[in-house]
């Protein structure tokens, strides 16, 4: 099931086209424009480009997800269930964010000010209103409308999108294997440096198995700048509930957490930890893309065509 943000039978619907998980921040790009994440799209998966994750059309996948949810919501309204349209829709950066390689991926800060104000926590992203179904009729109609939305794209759109999602998992999986080995090794020097500033972990071996778990330094966590989202549905049988939209809330680090983050940044500057990890990650990126270049060349034109059709269907062409 797609990311309709519908809870059916008390189970949260899985993320969009193929169940790939990823960041769900709102895209600032025009839907279907192919520029939401700054990537250069390639219709044939090569076109003389460098072997980078830019060849993976994650922005197109995210737009198709958005468009299909829009079509399904319209279909559901026609079937007597207006709740999805009432809840609203947005384009998520799920696929387009899953292959980004940047400083944040390795808990690197741009400067001391960013370290001090951002810390290690995570803010709350804005989300459209959730829809919770306890109505079998709604669930049945949703399944039928999903199938109609797929068919409107093309007869084989589901198979193509699933195959491309699997390809995305292969690309990210290849990088993840390297990260699991390289990040703990790089943290050895980081822990030594942080210790000089008075920040130590109780169990070094445990921390290296779970790097970036800064709670092990014993610093108090920060908080959200506002009231955490706490709406809960009644889940009364036969009802379809629409909750309030979730507002965006900034994360505010604690004072001690900010001190740790500044020390962390200074240690990174001293050791070059982040730069070394970025260099290694880009080397692995090229290897993984080279291994899957034929699949990208085969599937990219199909994804382009599906995204173009989706844009026409929702009036975004």
pLDDT tens, residue by residue, 263-290? 999 999 999 999 999 999 999 999 999 9
- Mean pLDDT check: name the lowest of 2-6, 83-87, 156-160, 232-236: 2-6
What value does the mean pLDDT take over residues 101-117? 96
What value does the mean pLDDT take over residues 236-246? 96
Q: Is residue 270 part of a domain?
A: yes
Q: Is residue 219 part of a domain?
A: yes
The domain total for the chain is 1
Q: Is residue 1 part of a domain?
A: no
Residue 49 has pLDDT above 90, yes or no: no
Give the span between the Cα atoms of 19 and 11, in whole angstroms.
14
Per-residue pLDDT, 50 = 74
> Shortest CA distance to 240 belongs to which of 31, 25, 81?
81
Distance between start and end Cα atoms, the chain: 25
Q: Is residue 16 part of a domain?
A: yes
Per-residue pLDDT, 211 = 87
Structure tokens at 174: 């290849």
Q: Is residue 314 part of a domain?
A: no
Q: Is residue 317 part of a domain?
A: no
Residue 9 has pLDDT above 80, yes or no: no
Confidence of residue 34 (pLDDT cuts 50, 70, 90): very low
Confidence of residue 51 (pLDDT cuts 50, 70, 90): confident
Q: What percent of the chain has pLDDT over 90?
A: 80
Per-residue pLDDT, 212 = 87
**Which phi and psi (to 5°) does residue 133 adopt?**
-105, 130
Per-residue pLDDT, 228 = 86
CB 141, CB 60: distance < 8 Å: no
Per-residue pLDDT, 145 = 97
Q: Is residue 299 part of a domain?
A: yes
- Record the pTM: 0.81
> Shortest CA distance to 129 belongs to which of 174, 87, 192, 75?
87
The overall average pLDDT reported for the chain is 86
Structural domain that includes position 194 = 6-309
CB 15, CB 21: distance < 8 Å: yes
Give the span between the Cα atoms of 271 and 282, in whole angstroms.
19
Confidence of residue 46 (pLDDT cuts 50, 70, 90): very low
- Mean pLDDT check: name the lowest of 97-101, 225-229, 313-317: 313-317
What value does the mean pLDDT take over residues 136-155? 96
What value does the mean pLDDT take over residues 112-120? 97
Neighbours of 212 (CB within 10 A): 11
Q: Is residue 180 part of a domain?
A: yes
């Amino acid at each position: 099931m797609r990311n309709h943000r519908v809870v059916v039978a008390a189970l949260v619907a899985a993320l969009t086209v193929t169940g790939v998980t990823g960041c769900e921040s709102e895209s600032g790009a025009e839907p279907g424009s192919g520029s939401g994440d700054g990537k250069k799209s390639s219709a044939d998966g090569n076109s003389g480009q460098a072997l980078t994750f830019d060849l993976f059309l994650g922005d197109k996948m995210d737009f198709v997800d958005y468009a299909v949810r829009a079509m399904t919501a319209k279909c559901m309204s026609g079937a007597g269930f207006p709740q999805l349209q009432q809840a609203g829709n947005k384009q998520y950066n799920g696929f387009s964010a899953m292959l980004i390689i940047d400083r944040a991926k390795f808990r690197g800060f741009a400067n001391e000010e960013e370290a001090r104000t951002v810390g290690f926590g995570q803010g709350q992203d804005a989300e459209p209103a959730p829809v919770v179904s306890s109505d079998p009729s709604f669930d049945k109609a949703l399944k039928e409308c999903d199938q109609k939305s797929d068919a409107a794209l093309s007869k084989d759109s589901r198979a193509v999108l699933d195959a491309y999602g699997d390809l995305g998992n292969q690309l990210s999986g290849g990088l993840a294997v390297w990260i699991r080995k390289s990040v703990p090794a790089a943290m050895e020097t980081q822990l030594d440096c942080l210790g000089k500033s008075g920040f130590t972990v109780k169990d070094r071996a445990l921390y290296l198995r779970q790097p970036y778990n800064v709670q092990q330094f014993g610093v108090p966590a920060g908080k959200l700048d506002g009231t955490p989202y706490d709406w809960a549905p009644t889940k009364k049988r036969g009802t379809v509930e629409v909750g309030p939209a979730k507002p965006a809330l900034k994360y505010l680090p604690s004072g001690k957490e900010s001190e740790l983050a500044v020390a962390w940044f200074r240690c990174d500057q001293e050791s070059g930890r982040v730069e070394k990890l970025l260099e290694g990650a880009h080397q692995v990126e090229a290897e993984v893309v080279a291994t899957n270049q034929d699949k990208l060349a085969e599937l990219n034109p199909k994804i382009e065509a599906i995204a173009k059709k989706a844009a026409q269907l929702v009036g975004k062409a």
